[in-house]
Amino acid sequence: MKKFFLQSAILTTSVLALGAILYTTLLAEYYKPVLLFSVLFFFVATNIIHSLLLKIAVKSGSRFSSHYMAISFFKMFFYLLVAVIYALINREFAKIFLANFLMLYVIYTTFEVIQFSRFVRGKKSSHSE
């Protein structure tokens, strides 16, 4: 878990650095302070969900796939709910927020899936030896 946390912190720092470069140059007119909080939201949520998935992977064994799918569904639904509520409350910034939110969702979900699949492959190979 420590390795995942460190890697997600590096990812978050990279996303923030790239965002700072883009939003101070090419996209300066589109910057909104909420974008910083979106990155931090994804960082925290990704680490919490990963921790939960690790606990389930260790405990549930054969039922892991169904638990993983259920958590993925609820995660996606929760993210959608957050995005829609923000967009409804702040309609004037909705397009910018939703574009960034979707991009962050893809980045962090891809990262999470890659890291978790490495964990599962490592767990399978240690059991087969």
Split the chain (129 residues) into runs of 10 and give each run's mean pLDDT: 90 92 83 84 94 81 80 93 94 90 95 83 61
Block residue for tokens 């946390």: 5
Q: What is the pTM of this model?
A: 0.84
Q: What is the pLDDT of residue 93?
A: 86
- Tell me if residue 118 falls in helix, strand or coil: helix
Q: What is the pLDDT of residue 84?
A: 95
Q: What is the pLDDT of residue 40?
A: 95
Q: In the chain, what is the straight-line distance between the N-terminal and C-terminal CA atoms, in Å? A: 23
Q: What is the pLDDT of residue 123?
A: 65
Q: What is the pLDDT of residue 47?
A: 94
Asked if 15 and 104 count as a contact pair (C-beta separation under 8 A), the reply is yes
What angle separates helix 64-89 from helix 94-128, to the nearest 10 degrees? Answer: 170
Of 61, 56, 43, the closest CA to residue 112 belongs to 43
Q: Transcribe 63-105 into DSSP letters.
A: GHHHHHHHHHHHHHHHHHHHHHHHHHH-GGGHHHHHHHHHHHH
Number of neighbouring beta carbons within 10 Å of residue 21? 11
